[in-house]
Copies of this chain bind each other. A is one copy, B any other.
Amino acid sequence: MADTLELVSSTCTFGGWHKRYRHRSTATGTTMTFAIYLPPQAQGGSVPVLYWLSGLTCTDENFATKAGAQRVAAELGLALVMPDTSPRGDGVADADGYDLGQGAGFYVNATQAPWAAHYRMYDYVVDELPALVEAHFPVTQQRAISGHSMGGHGALMIALRNPGRYRSVSAFAPIVNPSAVPWGQKAFAAYLGEDRSTWLSYDSCHQLEIAVERLPMLVDQGEQDGFMPEQLQPDVLARVARQHDWPLTLRRQPGYDHSYYFIASFIEDHLRFHAQHLAA
């Protein structure tokens, strides 16, 4: 039953179809929901896929309804896949606060109780979901990955840890150095335990330092983002990239905050960036 998809909804937009599915996940041991946007081009052939990882508190719906990405995906012939941000349900551990537990999976495989039972979002996003998508939909194995905030951390970290799996990676206001900031420290202590050496495998700045294979990387950061100095640390990513001569384009956008109004403003640039590398 693990590869059975239950269609939740199917909505026409920009000449393509935005579809939501539920399925039983082997990785998390729960029922997971994800969305896929199939552009018009998918009706006549296979299209490459951009995976989008959302931030704290989000489901698959935030990016789907607020980013305006389907318009550009329809033009470029790109499928968009939008997973949830954690396992959910009555039997799934949770915590008070928006930054731990349901809606805050941080794209790691938890090793600590009570989280280890279901919080295996790394395996879900890296392995299970792409296998499912590539088995059920008219898509190629050309993949790109992007995300916002916690999902920006997820996108960068996953792309860096899996050379050859993605053609390009981008992020909006990513948590680039979670080992060193409050959001990441709280989540990693809970999910991974107090041995900080285990945190580094999920830290983009560390992964970039040890990466063996380069891939194009685009990061946008709003300069009026209230989370920037404490939680996001784009300067640290820029420094590590410089030290390692890494192909990072980091753009600082004056006036912009952390919201979907920021993402919507620049998602077209990101999709064109990915389309260019997916076609190369």
Residues of A within 8 A of B (CB): 11-15, 18, 65-66, 68, 70-71, 222, 224, 255-257, 259-262, 264-265
Contact = CB atoms under 8 A, between A and B. Distances in A.
A264 B12 contact: no
Contacts of A65: 65-66, 260-261
18 contacts: A11-B257, A11-B259, A12-B224, A12-B255, A12-B256, A12-B261, A13-B256, A13-B261, A13-B262, A14-B264, A15-B265, A18-B261, A65-B260, A68-B68, A68-B71, A70-B261, A71-B264, A71-B265
- Copies of the polypeptide in the assembly: 2
Q: Which one of A15, A18, A68, A224 has the greatest number of beta carbons of chain B within 10 Å? A: A68
A171 B257 CA distance: 32
Closest 4 CB pairs of A and B: A12-B255, A13-B261, A68-B68, A11-B261
B68 A262 contact: no
A262 B12 contact: yes
